Structure 1
Amino acid sequence: MTSWHNLPRAAFDLETTGRDPHEARIVTASIVVVNGRSEILHTKEWLVNPGIAIPVEASEIHGITTAKAQAEGVDAATAVAEISAYLADLFQTMPVMAFNAAYDFTVLQAEANRYSLEQLNPTPVIDPYIVDKQVDKYRRGKRTLSVMSEFYGVQLLNAHTSAADAAATIGIADAQAAKYPQLQIDPTELHAAQIGWAAEQAASLQEFFRRKNPETVVDGQWPVKR
């Protein structure tokens, strides 16, 4: 059977107003679709007016100011509906990669709730962040997109633009599949496995944090924190 990393696949990435996925608003979104030879077939991008002021610290990361978003961005409800519909279409035929997927898909769900829109059922998702913590548990150092791009030899240009981050996400996932043959399974099976891995990883982190604060809770839900 041909592995998913040699078949058409996509990646999804958001840049937002903040870190809390239940409160953050979408500022930019990108979806990149590649063929089995890793050639980009389509790139769909949205610049969104989030309806609130974009904090300066967020603008410094992704480069989008409140003024730019208000002047050039599409209405948030319209963007959320379009993004969800586009992803729903892709999920019919291919996996969608997302780095730290529980953030992006939780933001998208929260935005859909905010505007009383239909919820997306994101599956099958492949998350290089969760996968990396499973296949290389004891590697020291950070596991950010930029660090993992360097580790797996993936080019990352214009980091923190959603299109560049999405493209790098595909590259990392492909490199993981090539390096670890146990990942070369049906994407729906890999999706199910990641649900368990994410829960185990969160439980382990919660146990570590509770050595200092017994009340610490680490949410292990994936790919959406409901």
Structure 2
Amino acid sequence: MTSWHTLPRAAFDLETTGRDPLDARIVTASIVVVNGRSEILHTKEWLVNPGVPIPVEASEIHGIYTAQAQAEGIDAATAVAEISAYLADLFQTMPVMAFNAAYDFTVLDREAKRHGVAPLAPAPVIDPYIMDKQVDKYRRGKRNLSVMSEFYGVPLLNAHTSAADAAATIGIADALATKYPKLQVDPLELHGAQVSWAAEQAAGLQEFFRRKDSAAVVNGEWPVRG
């Protein structure tokens, strides 16, 4: 069987106004499509006017400030419709990678509902964050994009720009598939496995948190949180 990491595939990344996916607004979006040799075929990018002020702490991470977004960005409703349509077309023929996919696809889902756009049903999604936690459960340390790029030897230039983060996501996913052949399954099968893995990982984290806070809740829904 030819594995997904040697076939055409895409990656999706957002930069936003904040950390909470239920409330964050899209500021930039990037979708990168590569061929079976990992050569970039297409890169599609959006700069969005989120309709709300961008907090300075968010701007300092991704480099887009409110004035630029208002002057140069397209309106959020148009952007959300275009991003959703572009992804829906890709899902017809290939998997889409997203690092910590439950964040990006939940933001997109909430933005769609906020602006009256039909929500996307994302599948098959491949999430190197969830896969790494599953195949290397006991490795200590952080598992953010920068750390994992270094760990797997994947270049990450211009970190926290959505295009660079999307390209690095593909590289990390490919490295995982190469190192762990059990991940080389049909993308829809892998998608279903990640739904279960995300729920199990969240349950374990919730159990840990409840040692100090009996009311702690960790949402394990993936790739879109309810």
User: TM-score range with shorter-chain normalisation?
Assistant: over 0.9
1:132-174 Cα distance to aligned partner (Å, 9 max, x none): 0000000000000000000000000000000000000000000
Letter paired with 2:106 = T
Q: Which residue of 2 aligns with 1:156?
A: 156
- What are the equivalent positions in structure 2 for 1:51-200 lying under 5 Å apart? 51-200=51-200
- For 2:212 and 2:153, locate their aligned partners in 1 and report how far apart those are by CA, in whole Å: 37
Q: Percent identity?
A: 83
Q: Which residue of 2 aligns with 1:213?
A: 213
Runs of 4+ with >4 A deviation: none
Letter paired with 1:204 = G
Residue 50 (1) aligns with residue 59 (2): no
- For 1:48 and 1:57, locate their aligned partners in 2 and report how far apart those are by CA, in whole Å: 18
- For 2:173 and 2:133, locate their aligned partners in 1 and report how far apart those are by CA, in whole Å: 13
Q: Which residue of 1 aligns with 2:22?
A: 22
Q: Which runs of 5+ in 1 are unaligned?
A: none
Q: CA RMSD in A?
A: 0.3
Count how many residue pairs are aligned between Structure 1 and Structure 2.
226
TM-superposed deviation, 1:71:
0.4
- For 2:129 and 2:13, locate their aligned partners in 1 and report how far apart those are by CA, in whole Å: 13
- For 1:150 and 1:92, locate their aligned partners in 2 and report how far apart those are by CA, in whole Å: 32
- For 1:3 and 1:129, locate their aligned partners in 2 and report how far apart those are by CA, in whole Å: 19
**Please, what TM-score do these two structures have when normalized by structure 2?**
1.00
Q: Which residue of 2 aligns with 1:224?
A: 224
TM-superposed deviation, 1:103:
0.2
- For 1:23 and 1:215, locate their aligned partners in 2 and report how far apart those are by CA, in whole Å: 22
- For 2:130 and 2:93, locate their aligned partners in 1 and report how far apart those are by CA, in whole Å: 22
- For 2:121 and 2:23, locate their aligned partners in 1 and report how far apart those are by CA, in whole Å: 20
Q: Which runs of 5+ in 2 are unaligned?
A: none
TM-superposed deviation, 1:116:
1.0
- For 2:111 and 2:119, locate their aligned partners in 1 and report how far apart those are by CA, in whole Å: 10
1:14-57 Cα distance to aligned partner (Å, 9 max, x none): 00000110100000000000000000000000000000000000
**Please, what TM-score do these two structures have when normalized by structure 1?**
1.00
- For 1:195 and 1:2, locate their aligned partners in 2 and report how far apart those are by CA, in whole Å: 23
